[in-house]
A and B are shown apart, each in its own frame.
Chain A
Amino acid sequence: MSTLASTAPEDVRQEERLYTAKPWTLIWWRFRKHKLAVASLVLLILSYSGALFADFVSPYRPFDIEKLQTFVPPQSVHLFSANGFEGPFVYGLKRSRDPDTARVIYATDETRIIPVRFFVEGPEYDFLGLIPTKLHLFGLDDPKQKLNLLGTDALGRDLFTRLMYGARVTLSAGLVGVSFSFLLGLGLGAISGYYGGMLDTSIQRLMEFIRSIPTIPLWMGLAAAVPIAWDPLYVYVLITVILSLIGWTYLARVVRGRFLALRNEDYVMAARLSGASEFRIITKHMLPAMTSYIIAALTLAVPEMILGETALSFLGLGLRPPVVSWGVLLQDAQNLRSIALAPWLLLPGVAVVIIVLAFNFLGDGLRDAADPYGR
């Protein structure tokens, strides 16, 4: 007991805080130490909010065609001009034709300074689908002038705007797909792990079988069977279902493994021997111990779905125009000529890579933090 007396009261309080911290607090404390994972979390929150408020964040509408503004390169926002500080602005563009190839080329006109304004009026839209408004996060005062942060495509559509709208589809496809897989995986994994026996064996066999089918050809085959004439919304749902049909085995394996491990834990038996009902054991003992692992596994499954959707749409088998998704946007970058002419068309691909990396980092961080009681 003299050891206790020799430690400062501050330490004791610290210790007591650790000893009485809730499991999720401990997980959060551990997660916080992964700087990259925390940064990824912030990035993902920003991206998803950007997608949710795409119409507000982007200055234009995704289908606004500007015939005189095709293949405009990304414009950079400046703060200082030759005259000193100006606040955010872009230079005007001078449009001309290359005398040899007759291609349109753009040059910045340093004499024309066009200030970038925040909360400007632009094309009308319904905020969150409810409130009609014209307010946009940023834009130019003069509706004749265009602000193309990431350039434009062959039809003069603003790539930044399309990227934000595309994020809605691509990012949500990951979540929707994962929720489908999750339902399947959790259900079958839990049944398999909890009941065991013949049921477990048959589900195991089924999973083994599904894993022995090459994923992408199967996706492609199924996706190709989706009738072209269908409503884009149906196609979207169907594509995510197809993606999840194959992805669930991984989740089911995680869930089953946890269930099996937990079922044999002494504390679960202790609860049973105290007379706890099946329901109580599952809800009070097993599920709380699994949630953090499942969340980590889900996080790691999202990027697979995003990559799947992008790949299918890129190949023209998934979502098709007029739906805007990152995979659809990348279709424009399929041939060498257009990339050579307008390399910024690859930017949706960069966005995919960043989001996928962020999910991977986040998932890794979560997985490391998932068991705060590791011995």
Chain B
Amino acid sequence: MAGETLPPMPPERLIELNDVAVHFSLREGLVRAVNGVSYHVNKGEVLGVVGESGSGKSVTVRSIMRLQPKTALDAGGAIRFRLPDGSVTELNRLPRDGREIRSIRGRHIGMVFQEPMTALSPVHSIGTQIARTYQLHTGASKEAARNRAIDLLARVQMPRPREMVDVYPHQLSGGMRQRAMIALALTCEPSLLIADEPTTALDVTTEAQILDLLRSLQAEFGMAIIFITHNFGVVADIADRVAVMYLGRVAETGTVDQIFYHPKHPYTRALLQSIPRLGQKRVHRLKTIPGMVPDPFNIPAGCVFHPRCEHAVAGRCDVAEPASRTFDGGQIARCHLADSLPELVS
């Protein structure tokens, strides 16, 4: 229903999610894993999506690729994607195993996963995996595809790409595997790269290398990135804009500066305050968010964050679900009290 009344996407817009909902029907009941998520990414832009476990950030990007598990129900919303020729497709309307979505996966949208160990096929060399994607989408010859794989491995700064092309994933270290994974995702120079916690399983020094690599590849290929993470440090490092998710909803979106220096949602504020920072004046206690993330079967009424919110107003926050409100500079927050919160003391 939303699809028909949506305004056309501005020309710089690459992908736009409006009110996307994904539910799972489990034996224990209906899980509303994603419940009204809206965000967008412009061409060549990095959107950081942050949230704790269970916030629905991974499920949302899987619905962009139409890769949700079979138990998932599309519960509404629109996902519009601009193809390189300028036309716009509604991804959420494409059949999951149809020709159209398959021609977009791997070609216009690439994806990098969290566990480089298990996300690459253990029985194929990394070159084979890259070449297969290239041949699939371009119809290139075997020879050309192999050369393409070598070229890509060189571009992700793998040492000795000519040898590495025949190597199997288990022979590589975590960082090298993630490089191979990135090369695979970039095979057809997609206009959008989805990176689902690509550095979470890596050590800090490797993480820094991968972040640098992604940044330089982005400059080189000019693609947009949706970067999912739970680490605010990583977001601050790589994102242009940020979406903060909580319990299947976007609590707040804005530019990276807006989110870090002028957060409007109490959840964003609390999260930012609860992480220890380098060089912070030594405080004895970290600020915490009381309670824990509710389980998905018992989502609180009203604003889903109200039971843990220090600013919650009884009779309002626990009754009505707040609508998204747009503020100066395009910052959007889903909170009744977004403009009346006390100033942050930093």
Contact = CB atoms under 8 A, between A and B. Distances in A.
Contact present between A and B (CB < 8 A) = yes
A6 B301 contact: yes
Contacts of B291: 1
Nearest to A5: B307
Interface in A1-39: 1-3, 6-7
Nearest to B292: A3
Interface string B300-324: 1100001100000000001000000
A6 B301 CA distance: 10
Nearest to B298: A3
A66 B298 CA distance: 73
A6 B302 CA distance: 13
Nearest to B307: A2
A1 B292 CA distance: 10
B294 interface: yes
A6 B298 CA distance: 9
| Residue from B301, B306, B307 having most chain A Cβ neighbours under 10 A | B307
A143 B301 CA distance: 78
Size bracket of the A interface: under 10
Contacts of A2: 300, 306-307, 318
| Residue from A1, A3, A7 having most chain B Cβ neighbours under 10 A | A3
A3 B295 CA distance: 10
Interface residues of B, number: 8
Contacts of A3: 294, 298, 300, 307
Interface string B108-133: 00000000000000000000000000
Given A2-B307, A2-B318, A7 B298 contact: yes
A30 to B, nearest CB: 12
Contacts of A7: 298
Contacts of B298: 3, 6-7
A42 B294 CA distance: 42
Contacts of A6: 298, 300-301
A37 B343 CA distance: 63
A1 B290 CA distance: 10
A318 to B, nearest CB: 45
Nearest to A7: B298
A367 to B, nearest CB: 20
Contacts of A1: 291, 307
Contacts of B306: 2
A72 B106 CA distance: 73
A6 B294 CA distance: 13
B319 to A, nearest CB: 12
Given A2-B307, A3-B298, 12 more contacts: A1-B291, A1-B307, A2-B300, A2-B306, A2-B318, A3-B294, A3-B300, A3-B307, A6-B298, A6-B300, A6-B301, A7-B298
14 contacts: A1-B291, A1-B307, A2-B300, A2-B306, A2-B307, A2-B318, A3-B294, A3-B298, A3-B300, A3-B307, A6-B298, A6-B300, A6-B301, A7-B298
> Top 5 closest A-B pairs, CB basis?
A2-B307, A3-B294, A3-B298, A3-B300, A3-B307
